[in-house]
Structure 1
Amino acid sequence: MRLLLLINASAQPVPAQLSAPAEAVGVVRTQVRLQKLDFWLRYPDYLAFELMNEFEAAPKETELLDLAEDILSSEEPDLRRFPMLRHRFGAFEELDEALSPLVEKGLISKTQVLGQNRVAEHIYFLLQRGRDVANELAEQAPALEWYISRTKLLVAMVDGLGGTQLKNRQYLLKDYADTAIGQHIAPITDQARDRLRKLRAAAANSIEEN
C-alpha cells in the first residue's frame, strides 16, 4: 500500500504520445525516480534534512523548518524507518516483487523501454482501479493518513525534478554517499536534530538583529 499511495501521489498525466493501457489515469516515469521518492518516505530523518536544505535555499519559507521540526521532534524517524540497501546508484530495493500484488489486482501496470543493451526506462501506470483504491484508503483507513500526507509532501518538494536529479541530491549527504555497497543506509537522526537546533538559533538571532 505504501507504493500504491506513493504512485498515486506522484503520478503525472499520461502524455498522448505514450502508449498506455486504456484505463491508465497517471504515469510515473523511471525506476530511479520511484526509488528515490521511496527512500525519503522510508527515512524521515533524511527527508527532514532535505527540508532544511530547502529552507536554507529560501529562508523566508519558514514552514519548511516547521515541517522538519515536526518530524524530528517526534518518534517518526525511528517508528517509520524502513531500511534500504546502498546500491551502485544509491538507495535501492528490487521493486518487481513489491509491485507484483498491485499489478495482479489491476491497480497499476508496468512496462519497459528497451535500449541497445539494457532497459532504458521503467514506466509505471496508475490505473483507474488503483486510484479508486488509493482514494478509498484515504477515507477508510485513518492509520494510513501518515503515508498520504508524506507522499503529498514529497511530491510538492521535488516538483519538476527527474530521477537523476533526485539521486544527485541524495548523494550530497556524506553519510548516504559513504555507505558501503550492500549495506543498509544508517539513520542520521541526531545529525538532523543538531542541524535543526542551529538553524533555529540562527533564525532567532536574525530576528533579533532586525
Structure 2
Amino acid sequence: MQGKELMALADGVRRASRWQDAVRLLLLIDASAKPVSGDLPAPAAAVGVVRTQVRLQKLDFWLRYPDYLAFELMNEYEAHPDDSGLLDLAEEILGSEEPDLRRFPMLRHRFGAFEELDEALAPLVEKGLISKTQILGANRVAEHVYFLLQRGREVAGDLTGEAPALEWYVTRTKQLVALVDGLGGTQLKNRQYLLKDYADTVIGRHIAPITDQARERLARLRAGSPAALPAADEETS
C-alpha cells in the first residue's frame, strides 16, 4: 500500500483514487467479515468472509454517501424510537461536513448503486490481504465470495497508526455493519430502493446527494414530528 494518490476530479464528479478505494474496501471487509463456514473452499489463512458482491456493494454505497446512511439511521430510529443513539449518530453526520467531504458518487445500474470492484480489490489480492472466489451456478456466477486473510486483518488494524485520518473509516464501517447486521445483499438493496431519490435515478447516472432532505427530516424528528418515508416506485431492479 505504498503512497497515497490524490483523488481526481473528472467531469465534475469527485472520485477516489485507487489507493483510497482499496483502503476503504479493506476496512469495510474487515468490519463486515463473518467467521468462515465449512462449506466454503477457504484459503488456509482466511480469518473471515464476506458473502455476495451485492452485500459489499450496498455497504460501500452507505459508506460513500453519508447522507443516505443518516437517512437509514432515521428509518431505524422511527422503527425503534427508544434507541436515541441512532438519531444522535444521524445528527453527528448531518451536522458536519461529512456528507460532502466523504461522498464519492456511484452510478445507478440495473440493480441499484454499483461500481466494478476488481480494480480496487486488485492491490489487496496482490499483497495477500484478501482472496476472492466465485461460486458457480448452472449458467452463471451464483455468488462472489471475499475472504479476509490474516495479513489483511493485521494491516487493517495497523492503518490508523500509520494514517490517523483513517480512524473515521474504521468507526463508520463498524457503525454501518452494526446497523445492518444479519441482513443479506438483497435485503440491503431493497432498503435502499425505499428512498424515491435513489429509485428514480436514471440508469447510468450518478446518484445525487440528499443532504438537504435528510437535514430537514432530522429537524422534524428532533421537533417530535416524524415525516413519512418517501415512497419508491414499484420497479426495484
Provide TM-score, normalisation by structure 1: 0.95
Match of 2:124 in 1: 102
* 1:18 Cα deviation from its structure 2 partner: 1.4
Q: Does 1:44 align with 2:63?
A: no
1:40 maps to amino acid: W
Does 1 or 2 have the higher relative contact order (CA < 8 Å, sep 6+)? 1
Question: Aligned partners of 1:40, 1:26: CA distance in 2, in Å?
Answer: 21
Larger helix proportion, structure 1 or 2? 1
* 1:194 Cα deviation from its structure 2 partner: 0.2
- Give the unaligned 5+ runs of structure 2: 1-22, 226-237
Question: Aligned partners of 2:99, 2:121: CA distance in 1, in Å?
Answer: 25
SS of equivalent residue, structure 1 residue 202: coil
Provide TM-score, normalisation by structure 2: 0.85
Match of 2:5 in 1: none
Q: Does 1:19 align with 2:41?
A: yes
Match of 1:84 in 2: 106
The correspondence for 1:5, drawn from 19, 24, 27, is 27
Question: Aligned partners of 1:86, 1:144: CA distance in 2, in Å?
Answer: 27
* 1:32 Cα deviation from its structure 2 partner: 0.2
2:175 maps to amino acid: L
Match of 1:199 in 2: 221
Match of 2:90 in 1: 68
* 1:117 Cα deviation from its structure 2 partner: 1.6
1:63 maps to amino acid: G
The equivalences for 1:132-147 within 5 A come to 132-147=154-169
Question: Aligned partners of 2:179, 2:160: CA distance in 1, in Å?
Answer: 21
The correspondence for 2:51, drawn from 18, 22, 29, is 29
Question: Aligned partners of 1:30, 1:178: CA distance in 2, in Å?
Answer: 25
SS of equivalent residue, structure 1 residue 68: helix
1:75 maps to amino acid: E
Question: Aligned partners of 2:107, 2:124: CA distance in 1, in Å?
Answer: 23
Q: CA offsets, 1:95-146, max 9 Å, x none?
A: 0111011000000000001112211100000000000000011333211000
- Give the unaligned 5+ runs of structure 1: 204-210
Equivalences, count: 204
Q: Does 1:119 align with 2:141?
A: yes
Q: Hey, which bits of structure 1, 4+ residues long, moved more than 4 A?
A: none
Question: Aligned partners of 1:116, 1:81: CA distance in 2, in Å?
Answer: 38
Question: Aligned partners of 1:66, 1:84: CA distance in 2, in Å?
Answer: 26
RMSD in angstroms over aligned alpha carbons?
A: 1.1
2:40 maps to amino acid: L
Q: CA offsets, 1:132-181, max 9 Å, x none?
A: 00001133321100000000001100010000000000000000000000
The correspondence for 1:183, drawn from 205, 220, 223, is 205
